[in-house]
Structure 1
Amino acid sequence: MVDFPNLDLLGIHIKVDTGAFTSSIHCHNIEIEDNNLKCQFLDPDHDKYHEKYFTFTDFVQKKVKSSNGIVENRFLIKTEILIFDQIYDIELTLTERGSMKFPVLLGRKFLSKKFIVDTSRKDLSFKNKIIKI
């Protein structure tokens, strides 16, 4: 579980995916307007959905190969993530993850040289958050 303070998203369940290079977040209503990227995060049926639109001036388009082998163009934004009581810069590609269990994937580009992944354990950041409260 992580927070994205700049996106007003708190307590978001994530999946660590060491097979994915880039990290991604579920996004919809993506539009380019006056050279700005405008979008909403999560789905209306998600318990953390807040209907807010966000506008980004600093973004790029990137080709990303998904786990099913299909290459798609995605927008990439930079923001901050709060995990284990520490804030990190993170790049996120915007994608449709509405049918997925987790709205966010953390890929190895973000994880590298910051974390050790122990696949035998789960919910460590959530447990850490509860202990601090």
Structure 2
Amino acid sequence: MRHPLSSIHHRFIPLMFAAAALSLGSTPGFAGSPQVLGWVEEGLIFPEKVAVKFKLDTGALTSSMHAENIELFEKNGDDWVRFTLELQDIDTDEKIEKRLEREMVRDIKVRGAGGAEERPVVMMKVCLGNQMYEEQFSLNDRDKMNYPVLIGRRTLEKVGLVDSSKTFTVEPSCTESAQ
């Protein structure tokens, strides 16, 4: 014997599936969703607008940037750091070398296989996708690393999600005035 509601139930199942499929494809449901980026993306370092590979690293807390000839000094009673930004632009293949000075935000102790070391942390502007970020970067000689810029979790929480199966999903498109 069939249950009296079973025929009604069978009529609503296709309607429920259709409604679910439509809601998945509609933009308003995903309007507030964060962007999803690959584990390696092209980014720009400002003010030089140097295009380099950024590794989006969920294992690192603080972002890191390649820097050479790092010197600590005092300016107006504050701790500052002078360093050489030496990078290869992946778009033009041009080597960019620029001596910069930034106020030191803090220093961090980084532990690795080779022991522990202290690194200065400064504020730097970078572009990822169409968004400019002014974030903290530890300075370190990353010459032996594949990626001159590492984006850590403190920055990633503002940027979006990382899909480890993807690379180069967005092109940087910021202007310095897009702050």
Q: For this structure pair, what is the TM-score category when the shorter chain's length is used for normalisation?
A: 0.7 to 0.9
Give the aligned CA root-mean-square deviation in angstroms. Answer: 2.2
User: 1 or 2, which has the higher helix percentage?
Assistant: 2
CA distance in 2, matches of 1:91, 1:40: 17
Q: Deviations over 1:12-53 (max 9, x none)?
A: 111111111111011101112344311011358x94532221
1:59 corresponds to: 105
1:13 corresponds to: 53
Query: Cα distance 1:48–1:24, how it changes in 2: closer, same or farther (>3 A)?
Result: farther
| 1:76, distance to aligned residue in structure 2 (A) | 0.2
Q: Unmatched 5+ residue regions in structure 1?
A: none
| 1:83, distance to aligned residue in structure 2 (A) | 0.8
CA distance in 2, matches of 1:104, 1:21: 13
| 1:72, distance to aligned residue in structure 2 (A) | 1.3
Number of matched residues? Answer: 125
Match of 1:41 among 56, 81, 85: 85
Sequence identity (%): 28
Match of 1:93 among 138, 142, 152: 138
**8 Å contact from structure 1 (residues 43, 98) kept in 2:** no
Query: Cα distance 1:50–1:2, how it changes in 2: closer, same or farther (>3 A)?
Result: same
Q: Unmatched 5+ residue regions in structure 2?
A: 1-41, 174-179
| TM-score, normalisation: structure 2 | 0.62
SS at match of 1:109: helix
SS at match of 2:98: coil
SS at match of 1:119: strand
2:39 corresponds to: none
Written as runs of structure 1 = structure 2, the 5 A alignment for 1:99-114 is 99-114=144-159
| TM-score, normalisation: structure 1 | 0.81
Query: Cα distance 1:41–1:88, how it changes in 2: closer, same or farther (>3 A)?
Result: same
**8 Å contact from structure 1 (residues 58, 77) kept in 2:** yes
**8 Å contact from structure 1 (residues 9, 48) kept in 2:** no
Q: Larger deviation: 76-85 or 35-44?
A: 35-44
CA distance in 2, matches of 1:106, 1:74: 16
1:2 corresponds to: 43
